[in-house]
Structure formats: C-alpha cells, structure tokens
C-alpha cells in the first residue's frame, strides 16, 4: 500500500478546516489533493481527534498481527492433522 505524504495529524487539521466552513474544492487545491482523496479521508477520519486516530492505527496494527498469528497457527494445525492422518 502506498504511504501517504500527509500525516494523520495533517489530515485531521485539513478536515477541521473543512468543518469550520472552507469548501472542499479550495482545500483540495491548496493542499494538492484530489477531491476523491479528500472525501475518502472525510469518510474514514471525520470527527476524530489526533489521539483517537493514533489509537485506531495501533488497533489496526494489533489486528493485523493477530490475523497473521491465527493464519500461522491454523496452517500448523492443518499440517499436523495431515501428518497424523497418514498411514505408515
């Protein structure tokens, strides 16, 4: 996945400007982003504070690690079942 050139705090700042009354087209032109990017950010981060956003990122990372651990454990389990199921 491509790394954003904006930090989470910058994204929240841009969204706060939008909430204060500046129109989306002006913000997109000022920061050099597409309107699609802006509206994706708004859908994902709207109403969040920087601390909440950091917590969300931590939880997403923890979730990714847990999914990976589960996948590895289930593969190990399947391999052991296959090994024990074979007749010698």
Whether the pLDDT of residue 53 is over 90: the answer is no
Q: Environment class of residue 86 by beta-carbon count within 10 Å: exposed (0-12), middle (13-18) or buried (19+)?
A: exposed
Which residue is it, tokens 């590895």? 72
* Rounded CA separation 86/22 (Å): 68
67 pLDDT tier (thresholds 50, 70, 90): very high
What pLDDT is attached to residue 88? 59
* pTM (2 d.p.): 0.60
What's the whole-number mean pLDDT along residues 15-22? 92
Whether the pLDDT of residue 2 is over 70: the answer is no
Helix spans in the chain (H)? 8-19, 24-31, 35-45, 50-85
Whole-angstrom CA distances from 70 to 19, 27, 64 are 41, 42, 10
């Amino acid at each position: 996945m491509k790394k954003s050139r904006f930090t989470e705090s910058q994204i929240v700042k841009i969204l706060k400007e939008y909430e204060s009354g500046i129109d989306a087209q002006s913000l997109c032109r000022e920061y050099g982003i597409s309107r699609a990017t802006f509206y994706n950010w708004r859908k994902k981060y709207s109403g969040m504070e920087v601390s909440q956003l950091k917590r969300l990122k931590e939880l997403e990372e923890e979730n990714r690690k847990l999914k990976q651990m589960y996948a590895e454990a289930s593969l190990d389990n399947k391999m052991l079942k296959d090994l024990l199921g074979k007749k010698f």
